[in-house]
A = this chain, B = another copy of it.
Amino acid sequence: MMQLFLGIDGGGTGCRAAVAGGDGRIIARAEAGPANIASDPDAAIRNLLAVATDAMKQVVGASAAAELPRLRVVMGLAGANFTPSVARLRAGLPFTALRVETDAFIALKGALRDGDGIVAAVGTGSVFVRQLGGVAHRIGGRGWVLGDEGSGAWLGRALLSACLRAGDGLAEITPLLKSVRAELGGDDGIISFGFSARAVDFANFARRVVGSDDPAAGALMAQAEADIAQYIALLQPNPAVPVVFLGGIGTQIAPHFADRWQIAPALGSGVDGALWLACQIGVEP
């Protein structure tokens, strides 16, 4: 039977998988629950196995489980660079040819394949990766406590902070600040929300900022875009390479940078990037 390839994008909200033959054309797709290897490695192993088996069933039917070991597999996982769980993951999965990468790396490969460019991934968090002559260099992406400037979590937290400052009289109360203050129950409600909020809880408030014509939202977006521009400018070589914006916020704000850099669409998704890498296994010199 011909060699098959499997790419998986596994993250905190769910896993997506795609299977291809030797020509790289996708012949099956599947989805499953979250794969958070840092916080719940057992559930991650179960869901990664489920998504792989589901995809393979569409190709080989009942023998899917038996066929898994001979696949060539690449999976991109959030936090894969920052957890001792990768060895446990390998031991819990049946694959013999398995490469584990970060979510940022498969997003980069999905967006650019082996081309030169910069990926600015701005969603709940923010991370910036340059690829030049096949060499990837990553900056940012430090989490909301100490970094992730310009991200959804950063914007949401800055919005709540602005609500408190306006309440103190340090800044003008705009309609947006007034409505968020009322929604959360004033100072006490905002402070209490802030102490228990996770990145995604802060990021939910970013929706109120992006694209809003409220003056406070405008000031926060200007700061976020300046931070994002600083990261991209630092990565830009001379001559400059195209920039691909990814993520909920990234794709929305991409046009704002069109006068400064060449903005390119992503060639494909993170799953596409993982699958493209899987097709290289054994081919690389």
* C-alpha gap A195/B125 in the complex (Å): 14
Q: Tell yes or no: A90 within 8 A of B by CB.
A: no
Q: Is the interface of A mostly helix, strand, loop or mixed?
A: helix
User: A137-152: contact bitstring with B at CB < 8 Å (1 yes, 0 no)?
Assistant: 0011011011100000
* C-alpha gap A161/B195 in the complex (Å): 19
Q: Tell yes or no: A134 within 8 A of B by CB.
A: no
Contact status of A145 and B195, CB under 8 A, knowing A82-B188, A139-B168, A168-B139:
yes
- Residues in B neighbouring A139, C-beta threshold 8 A: 168-170
* C-alpha gap A234/B195 in the complex (Å): 26
B143 near A191: Cβ-Cβ < 8 Å: yes
Q: Known pairs A82-B188, A139-B169, A169-B234. 17 more at Cβ < 8 A? A: A139-B168, A139-B170, A140-B168, A142-B187, A142-B194, A143-B194, A143-B195, A145-B195, A146-B157, A146-B160, A146-B161, A146-B190, A147-B164, A147-B191, A168-B234, A170-B230, A170-B234
Interface residues of A (CB under 8 A from B): 82, 139-140, 142-143, 145-147, 157, 160-161, 164-165, 168-170, 187-188, 190-191, 194-195, 197, 230-231, 234
